[in-house]
Structure 1
Amino acid sequence: MDDISTSSLLLILTVLIITSAFFSGTETAMMSLNRYRLRHLAQNGHRGAKRADQLLQRPDRLIGLILIGNNLVNILASAIATVIGTRLYGDWGIAIATGALTMAVLIFAEVTPKTLAALHPEKLAYPNSIVLKPLMTLFYPFVWLVNMFSNAILRLFGVKTQHSDGDSLSAEELRSVVHEAGAMIPRRHREMLVSILDLEKVTVEDIMIPRAELFAIDVNGDYKTIMRKLTRSPHSRVLLYRDNIDDVVGMMHLSDVLRLITREQGELDKSTLLRAVEELYFIPEGTPLNVQLLKFQSAKERMGVVVDEYGDIQGLVTLEDILEEIVGDFTTGLQTPPSEDITKEDGGSLLVDASITLRDFNRETEWQLPTDGPKTLNGLILEQLEDIPAPGTTLEVAGHQLEVVEVAENMVKMVRLKKDS
């Protein structure tokens, strides 16, 4: 280096610091890329994203290449800075060059480019990958040798070096991603996506129409009584049973009854009517909604009766109920909409039909009454009090004051609620 002028050495040193900044910034930019956005862009033909994705397939080799380049540049810069310092300041030049180069590298080759890369990874990673690709080919033998020794040392400490798909997301992680999408995804769409993820946490008991609220007809009644109840049915499908609802016969669709009346020209009897009864589809209690949705699809069914381990009927679930868990209420189904069960009173209190499910109540009011126990507001009150309360009884649940307004048939019928008592 004695033959090279000081000004030329300063120019070379400047170029080396810029090169060091390139490697430092590129490392941070590549590692800061959003892997899901990267793959999306790569699949859509973005050239820079394709190059970056290929390089990140083996992050150990990418890091090895960048560190090899960075260390070579920094070591060479240190040697040149020492020569310059010795020429300008003699024996003190080594210390001065060390301090000056350290500050220069920290500011211009480390902190500044890495901060910029962390803030705008795509703007640096994609164009810089144009340089990294040929460098990877050129230095591949050296990179492979360094990685071989590095991976061997890691294996000595029990660290697995095989490339694993660490970008897979669990349901909880995906839920967080959806929540953090912000304005990129409309709020209503985010709610629907989260609802789909929540299907595995919700069982058929959480959304079923309870046994006590089922509209059913005893087929042992006389023909006129059966027809009168059929014509007054609030639903298009009616559950039929013998004497006790646990002895179910099947389901009857009112459209089938209408076809029978038309075909028989109004001359129907009970035996002819009962030929229109359809077989029931049974659902074991505890079935998650995501599983039941697929079962409905495979069985070509839209409705099922929930039974417990003893075969006793617990309630009724429809395909519409599951879909409403995802998209919200979109039509009047077998169940009364929650808004009809909740009346706002002057002063901010709510008068609520206690048969409402806690999930529907929380969804309608955005309150957070516990749902990990009883399914209805009546059940929650009975669990808390461990007794059937008298009208006027008050209790506090999750920061809300509940007042029992009406009790009948050993059940709480009406409740008044006040928030944050």
Structure 2
Amino acid sequence: MTFDAILTFLGNYWISIASILALVLLSGFFSGSETALTATSKSRMHTLGNNGEVRAGIVTHLIERRDRLIGALLIGNTIVNILAGSLMTSLFLDVFGDSGVAIATLVTSAIVVVFSEVLPKSWAIAGPDRFALAVAPMVRLFVLVVGPVSAAVNWLVRAILAFFGVRLSSEVSMLTAHEELRGAVDYLHKEGSVVKADRDRLGGVLDLGELEVSDIMVHRVAMRAINADDPVDINVRIILDSPYTRMPIWRGSTDNIIGVLHAKDLLRAMADVDSDASKIDIVKLSQKPWFVPDTTNLKDQLNAFLRRKGHFAIVVDEYGEVQGLVTLEDILEEIVGDISDEYDLDMQGVRQEADGSMVVDGSVPIRDLNRALEWNLPDEEATTIAGLVIHESKSIPDERQAFTFYGKRFIVMKRERNRITKLRIRPAAEDDI
């Protein structure tokens, strides 16, 4: 085709060519807008809106009704693609005759795929927030015009799906806000944008509402307490030698907690009587104990600690029997990890052996192992690693008995009465299964 022929072709069909180009641009606009507005970050838009970005409010308003938004954009995109295809077919029929249909189909498909789908969507996904802000005012006007049609189409689609037993809800998300946030944090951690420590802290905050006090409390078998009827000098020595600042006081039986003594109150009293322990009544120095149910979730218990300005509570079951104790520090450790100071004992109870296996005390919480070692052992049915072995084996194992579950080999190393006190854990081999 000569240059004169090209000029003649353009002069005869310039309206059709210009219309096709405009329709391809519109199709790209709709495709890119759909991608950007469905991928944009709500939290980022909220932040930008608070900082005075007016368009962020428009984006937020649009994505609140995603079904209406996407329906309108799909309607616009479908209309312009059909029009572009029709004009292209008409143009090529005039130029190439009957073979123009096949040529128009190939050319239209190539143009739509490259310039109306892949290119604008790739551009939009590279910066969805920026793209969404740029197109939001124009999309809002289009949705206002086409919105009623989109609503009618959505209603028709829902009616058809309902006929086949499929129910759609535009109001309820399949994931809760916590699950969406947790998924985002895990994804960013895998990408390297969030370090493990930050992921664990954020996960700890999200878990507070799902965990109960019984999951983190110091169990009664490990709880330190003093007998009010013991000699005062013995109790004073126990308190001063303890790494803890608060100590429960019982009388008659360990289920009868009558007070909680703070070491600072004891030291003040000792100073007032020139360190003569015989002149001290530790029961009068103690504070009234605070009892909380073992089913209280950690979020409520944390709020209760903050509201009462307290740090220490005795945990009881539904029958009023003492199950253990919980402190504010215990809850904070669920968020920030282990909090240790120079007076803390080494209570981790985990030791790595030369062969790569782990020797673990039976009282170590499953959640602590999962957090420290990146394991995924379930903690719904048991709190400690010993409890998990007993639950899975449906028995109280003997020493040197071994079990394999959840991809780990558990070997009972030590048992005292009915308690598993030490385990060896290693990855399960093929011959273990």
- TM-score, length-scaled by structure 1: 0.80
CA-CA distance at 1:194 after TM superposition: 0.6
1:285/1:308 contact within 8 Å kept: yes
2:39 aligned with 1:45 = no
- 1:94 and 1:56 map into 2 onto residues whose CA distance is 39
Q: Report the aligned-residue RMSD.
A: 3.7
Q: Which residue of 1 aligns with 2:294?
A: 285
AA matched with 1:184: S
The counterpart of 1:244, out of the listed 253, 266, 275, is: 253
Checking the alignment, whether the CA contact within 8 Å between 1:401 and 1:418 is kept in structure 2 is yes
Query: 2:88: which partner in 1?
Result: 81
1:376–1:270 Cα change, 3 Å: farther
**How has the CA–CA distance of structure 1 residues 113 and 335 changed in structure 2, closer, same or farther, with 3 Å as cutoff?**
same
Q: Counterparts of 1:175-324 in structure 2 under 5 Å?
A: 175-182=182-189, 183-266=192-275, 269=278, 272-324=281-333
Q: Which residue, out of 360, 371, 378, partners 2:379?
A: 371
Query: Which stretch of structure 1 is more off in the superposition, 34-43 or 187-196?
Result: 34-43
Change (3 A) 1:326 1:103: closer
Query: Which residue pairs with 1:9 in the alignment?
Result: 16
Q: CA deviation at 1:180?
A: 1.1
Decide which of 128, 135, 141 is 1:128's aligned counterpart. Answer: 135
- The 2-side partners of 1:70 and 1:377 are apart by 57
**C-alpha distance in structure 2 between counterparts of 1:129 and 1:226, whole Å:** 72
Moved more, 243-252 or 88-97: 88-97
Per-residue CA distance 1:133-185 (angstroms, 9 max, x = gap): 55567xx3xx2553464355357556999974759843223211111123333
Amino acid at match of 1:121: P
Give 1:146's aligned residue.
149
Partner residue in 1 for 2:413: 404
Shift of the alpha carbon at 1:23? 3.0
Q: Residue type of the partner of 1:347?
A: D
Q: Which moved more, 1:219-228 or 1:111-120?
A: 111-120
Deviations 1:7-56 (A, max 9, x none): 45334433333333333333333333333333333333345544433444
Paired letter, 2:295: G
- Residue 364 of structure 2 aligns with an amino acid whose one-letter code is I
Length-normalised TM-score, structure 2: 0.78
Counterpart code for 2:153: S
C-alpha displacement of 1:99: 5.2
Identity %: 32
User: For the residues of structure 1 that align with 2:388 and 2:78, how far apart are their CA atoms?
Assistant: 66
Look up the match of 1:393.
400
Change in 2 beyond 3 A, CA 1:22/1:366: closer
Count matched residues: 410
Amino acid in structure 2 at the alignment position of 1:39: H
Residue 402 of structure 2 contacts residue 412 of structure 2 at CA under 8 Å; is this kept in 1?
yes
Q: 1:375 to 1:118 in 2, by over 3 A?
A: closer
Q: CA deviation at 1:327?
A: 0.4
Q: Distance in 1 between matches of 2:212 and 2:106?
A: 66
1:338–1:361 CA contact under 8 A, matched in 2: no
Instruction: Write the letter of the residue equivalent to 1:291.
Output: D
Separation (CA, whole Å) in 1 of partners of 2:72 and 2:425: 65
Change (3 A) 1:411 1:149: closer
Structure 2 unaligned residues grouped into runs of 5+: 1-10
- CA deviations 1:283-315 (Å, max 9, x no partner) are 211222222111212222111111122222111
Contact in 2 for aligned 1:21/1:110 (Cα 8 Å): yes
In the TM superposition, residue 70 of structure 1 has moved relative to its aligned partner by 4.2
Query: In the aligned structure 1, how far is the partner of 2:104 from the partner of 2:390?
Result: 80
